[in-house]
A and B are shown apart, each in its own frame.
Chain A
């Protein structure tokens, strides 16, 4: 009896009073969203203000376009050859301290942004180094056997060559199309395929933003949202652009689970070309709404230098990472050399 009570009291005491490990003596300071200054002897948990240690660099991805290995066929048509390798065993730090099994095309989520001109022959050598079957399904126009749906490519070195004529003009997603589809997409097997018009678009500072989410605990709800995978990244590392310089963003919404996503720009409006298939903009707005794999091209230029936010106006998404900053710098070179709208 006494023994039992002693044990009970002992356990209770342990359970009431927290057991801590050795406390750090060093004091950290951090600033919250609202500007409050917090001092702590512990560690700071902050996807926003600590320097990200993430392996994937969204800043590099932003302006990285893969034009392929270019050659000419006998009839003079341009042939562009690409290699895309699928993998499904990489663990990546997707936000400071959070490790997630990403499935990748060429090692990144999203996969490479491949780019061709309308009428070119696109030849994609696909190698599946994953454990599971994968494919690449390109949105666009192509023959049935090139659709990446009924031609699953086995893992551990399986290969397939996709070949088709680039078209139509615009910005298109590509993604794995193996069942269960949702699983393959939400793990990261997608990317962007841009088809440029034969008559080039006006020169601009071009970037690609894939709006995506990560369901890290597999409850079919996203734990994070981002433009280009890493939550809060462009807020922590603002995108540097210049005043009076045309900015062109290829936006693709790859968010799963949520019916819509959107893109709101601060201090400005943009011309919007849905799917990019037209060369005349359909909207002049600061807010577009995108359903799954809806995409388009946005064009704008800033007149006034400074910091401008861009984010999902579905505020939940922005507060879970889909938010960024354009740092608009004064353009020293002036505006004479920028021409567009020919």
Chain B
């Protein structure tokens, strides 16, 4: 008995392992040393200038080797004019290694510059800065400044949006569904907006080797799945605890919006950090305006609850406060990679929220999503967002 049991176990393991072994042999054959099956072409060197800081009489460029082979930095230029420079710690960059290129240069405030780096094979890479501005030195003053901006952009507009709650409370079920759908429409627009922004950043500042589009897709779907799973757990637990389903949904919406606002904070912080004054002002006004609609999104599912003031305030904070952290990170430790990642997480979170809202409407609305209220709400939500995006 026992013998046959172990032998069958052995067979089981063997049957699992043998195909795997063949797979390894196959891969070794294709990619292994001496294999001439794959000629992957000539590897081209690539560097990415991740950050350009304007200091006192000096321009500092953070350069990363983002290509498949190691490179040597040979020369720096400003506006295509060769400049003596220093490179720290040294000019040899292995894959993904970074160096700081320090170019002594009397730059002028608010003027555009193109900084170029030439590597040993003569290839020149460049990065354009729209308007030079002194690099942000981390200070408590600046920390406070970003906190205030984050509050104006994140917390206050969301709180204002929450003031719609009494209104939503008094309306009929049909209209309530309309507003839920409207929320979903608003959020869908935001999600698409986040994806677009993430793709833009990856296009402009992220090296090709990061596969920007795929990075966005992967992070988006991972965050969607992760939050979807957590959200379902939260809702199912809601049945057996004091948290009611609407609260659970509103909480998830707050978390999703919070991640999104984190991305907005990043964008604002980075814009201020990069010295794009006009752009950062536009972002602040635009984000502040549309974030009031986020308050509406949180308020809508909660409207059938009682004694919600405290919970709402907490959710307003969850949704709004990340803008502050985003602004800090964006301003002080900006990197294109992190902003792409956070924007994608935000988009995934919002998609998850949309799905949750739609399920909620479906359950509430006699298993039906195709009512006039839902369709028009969704459409109007999108249109409102589109119009605000034109206006600001």
Which residues of the partner chain A approach B64 to less than 8 Å between Cβ atoms? 18
**In the complex the two chains form, is B92's CB within 8 Å of A316's CB?**
no
In this assembly, does A203 line the interface, its C-beta being within 8 Å of a C-beta of chain B?
Answer: no
Chain A residues within 8 Å of B75, by CB: 45, 47, 95, 97-98
- A153-177: CB near B (< 8 Å → 1, else 0) gives 0000000000000000000000000
8 Å CB interface, A59-118 against B: 94-100
Within 8 Å of chain A (Cβ to Cβ): is B32?
no
CA A323 to CA B98, docked complex, whole Å: 33
Residues of B close to A44: CB separation below 8 A: 84-87
Q: Are B341 and A12 in contact (CB under 8 A)?
A: yes
* Residues of chain B at interface, number, CB under 8 A: 51
Scoring B75, B225, B335, B337 by chain A CB atoms within 10 A of each residue's CB, the highest score goes to: B75
For the complex formed, measure the closest distance between the CB of B121 and the CB atoms of chain A, giving whole angstroms. 6
Task: Say yes or no for A46: interface residue by CB 8 A criterion.
Answer: yes
Please report the C-alpha to C-alpha distance between residue A111 and residue B182 in the assembled complex, in whole angstroms: 75
Residues of A within 8 A of B62 (CB): 18
Interface membership of B304, Cβ < 8 A: no
Q: Does B200 contact A (CB under 8 A)?
A: no
Q: Is A330 an interface residue (CB 8 A)?
A: no
Q: B122 contacts the other chain (Cβ, under 8 Å)?
A: yes
Central interface residue in B62, B121, B219, B345, by most chain A CB within 10 Å: B121
- Chain A residues positioned under 8 Å from B121 (CB to CB): 98-100, 216-217
Q: In the complex, which residues 282-296 of chain A have their Cβ closer than 8 Å to any Cβ of chain B?
A: none
> By the criterion CB–CB under 8 Å, are A98 and B120 in contact?
yes
Contact present for A23 and B89 (CB under 8 Å): yes
A32 to chain B, nearest CB (A): 4
A20's partner among B86, B89, B341 (CB-CB below 8 A) is B89
B104: A residues at CB distance < 8 A: 32, 34, 36, 38
Decide if B337 touches A12 in the complex (CB within 8 Å): yes
B29-53 with Cβ < 8 A to chain A: none
Closest A residue to B121 by beta carbon equals A99
Chain B: minimal CB distance from A94 (Å): 8
CB B269 to nearest CB in A, in angstroms, measures 13
Contact of A20 with B97 at beta-carbon distance under 8 Å, contacts A38-B104, A45-B91, A98-B75 already known: yes
Q: Does B72 contact A (CB under 8 A)?
A: yes
Interface on B for A, CB 8 Å cutoff? 57-58, 62, 64, 72-77, 80-92, 94, 96-102, 104, 106, 118, 120-124, 219, 222, 225-226, 229-230, 333, 335, 337-338, 341, 345
